[in-house]
Structure 1
Amino acid sequence: MTPPLRTVCALVAYDGTDFYGFQSQADVPTVQDALEQALDRFCHREGRIVGAGRTDRGVHASGQVIRACVRWKHAMADLERAWNAHLPPTIAVRRVREAPEGFHPRFDAISRMYRYFVWWQLAPKGFPPLRRSPLTDRFALLETRPLDVAAMNRAASYFLGVHDFATFGQAPQEGEGTERCVTAAFWRVEAPEASLPAPDSGRRLVFTIVANAFLRQMVRTIVGTLLAVGRGELPPEAVKRMLGARDRSEAAPPAPPQGLILERVVYPSTLDRWVHADIESKLLRNEKIE
């Protein structure tokens, strides 16, 4: 007997270092292809997997939301276990459940939250700056120059609200608009991880940004510009001029991809609780999430 066709929703985390982004491309490894190939090893899939965000090459995710249509007669927990068993170690399906009728992970979303991580480590006086930070390089940008974090936050405040972000990114498809609404944009200085050696020798800077949607390379270009402000290369007020210019050449080069993580995709309240509730209750109980 043919198993029933079921539409499922999954929360997915991945280390994007070795992938050419989420979306499938010819002749290069992508997260979408890896997820589909894993499914195809143990069940019948119909159509392509759909993701909430098209993360770029080298960008990570802890809260990517995807939809897949599969023929499956067992419990969702069994599907989750089988899927993870066939995935590479750089991708994990955090939770699988049956999707409500008509659910679309991208079009139903009302906002996305990204975080960018910077490992800020100043060289002692008289010593050359570090060139590498082996314990953090895969998931953070190493910055060894002085930074004015207060100035970076002043500059970040200009991004709040509805603006045309043509200076800071490209529309996903030709002809699409470049106006976006940013509801949060700020830097926070965190204490270093206790597991890292010499924890007093560096700090972690985290940039959080939330918007209804993002242009290609928008977050990384914003981060690159804000770091230029922090180094004193630009005044904070330059951001306001850049937004008005709508000229890609006005912004600083994009920051490298390894510091960027798609952390959460937000949906209308009832749907959002449905997508995230099981994971968050596990976190509150400090349970291991596979």
Structure 2
Amino acid sequence: MIGIGSGYRMVVAYDGTAYHGWQAQAGISTVEGALVLALAAATGERVRVRAAGRTDTGVHAHGQVVAFVLSRNWSPPQLLAATNAHLPADVTVLEADRAELDFDPRRRAWRRTYRYLLAPTRVPSPVGRQYAWRVSPHLEMEPMREAARLLVGRHDFAAFGRSPQPGGSTVRTIDMAALESRAGLIAVEVRGDAFLRGMLRNLVGALVAIGEGRLGLA
């Protein structure tokens, strides 16, 4: 339709260490807030951004998908370069493409993957400390893997998080939950259709408690 504008889709990567999560909040530094400000500086327009997910405080992203509408027509490479020129060093637009005006990344995303890093050590290295949770060096991996396998399927995860919508469903489908040890770290990777607020942190916390023997599988 003429006069409405042009739709765009971006893939954004960010280090969430300095931010209070994704969602814009007045007076608080967030990733969405940084992106909206950069888009305004680049295009002269204040846009409403739709995202595939809302990451929590300190969470990083390799591929957050966002969408928005601009009244002016931009070429995607030009828009990508102009936006990156106004973003801080810890937020980068990796891709920019045209999209339908009503494109909604949250509804169109069929799977989301999260990776949580654990550092099982008594003496943590200061290098990369913001990217891994220091845990006991005596974790029992097999009970943790067994517990992770039990997460796969469609379950009510109300004990591990809350719905983004008041009164919303807490049932989610997990189709992969795995642990991998590499380079002194343990990676917990979980893939599902959607996640509750705080769900991944609480799931990983439960797995660590099982690995430490503080929680059983019964």
Same fold (TM over 0.5): yes
- Residue 161 of structure 2 is aligned to residue 161 of structure 1: no
Name the CA distance, whole Å, in 1 between partners of 2:155 and 2:47: 36
Report the alpha carbon displacement of residue 5 of structure 1 after superposing the two structures with TM.
Answer: 2.3
Letter in 2 for 1:224: G
**In structure 1, what is the equivalent of residue 168 of structure 2?**
176
Name the CA distance, whole Å, in 2 between partners of 1:44 and 1:70: 10
- Residue 89 of structure 2 is aligned to residue 89 of structure 1: yes
**In structure 2, what is the equivalent of residue 271 of structure 1?**
none
Question: Which TM-score applies when normalising by structure 2?
Answer: 0.94
**In structure 2, what is the equivalent of residue 24 of structure 1?**
24
Letter in 2 for 1:217: G
Cα pair distance change 1:46/1:5, threshold 3 Å: farther
Report the alpha carbon displacement of residue 103 of structure 1 after superposing the two structures with TM.
Answer: 1.5
Query: After the TM superposition, which residues 1-290 of structure 1 pair with which residues of structure 2 at under 5 Å, given as runs?
Result: 5-45=5-45, 47-121=47-121, 129-130=122-123, 132-190=124-182, 192=183, 203-235=184-216, 237-238=217-218
**SS of corresponding position for 1:42:** helix
Letter in 2 for 1:35: L
Structure of greater relative contact order (alpha carbons < 8 Å, 6+ residues apart)? 1
Q: Tell me the matched-pair count.
A: 216
Cα pair distance change 1:42/1:4, threshold 3 Å: farther
Q: Tell me, which stretches of 5 or more residues in structure 1 are unaligned?
A: 122-128, 193-202, 239-290
Preserved contact between residue 44 and residue 70 of structure 1 (Cα < 8 Å)? no
Structure possessing the higher radius of gyration over alpha carbons: 1
Letter in 2 for 1:113: T
Question: Which TM-score applies when normalising by structure 1?
Answer: 0.71
Name the CA distance, whole Å, in 2 between partners of 1:204 and 1:68: 37
Identity %: 37
Letter in 2 for 1:63: G
Report the alpha carbon displacement of residue 4 of structure 1 after superposing the two structures with TM.
Answer: 8.0
Per-residue Cα deviation, 1:33-79 (whole angstroms, up to 9, x for no partner): 11010011121435411111011111111110000212344421111
**SS of corresponding position for 2:107:** coil
Letter in 2 for 1:118: L
Name the CA distance, whole Å, in 2 between partners of 1:152 and 1:100: 43
Name the CA distance, whole Å, in 2 between partners of 1:15 and 1:71: 30
Report the alpha carbon displacement of residue 102 of structure 1 after superposing the two structures with TM.
Answer: 2.8
Letter in 2 for 1:183: D
The CA RMSD over aligned residues, in Å, is 1.6
**SS of corresponding position for 2:125:** coil
Name the CA distance, whole Å, in 2 between partners of 1:148 and 1:162: 26
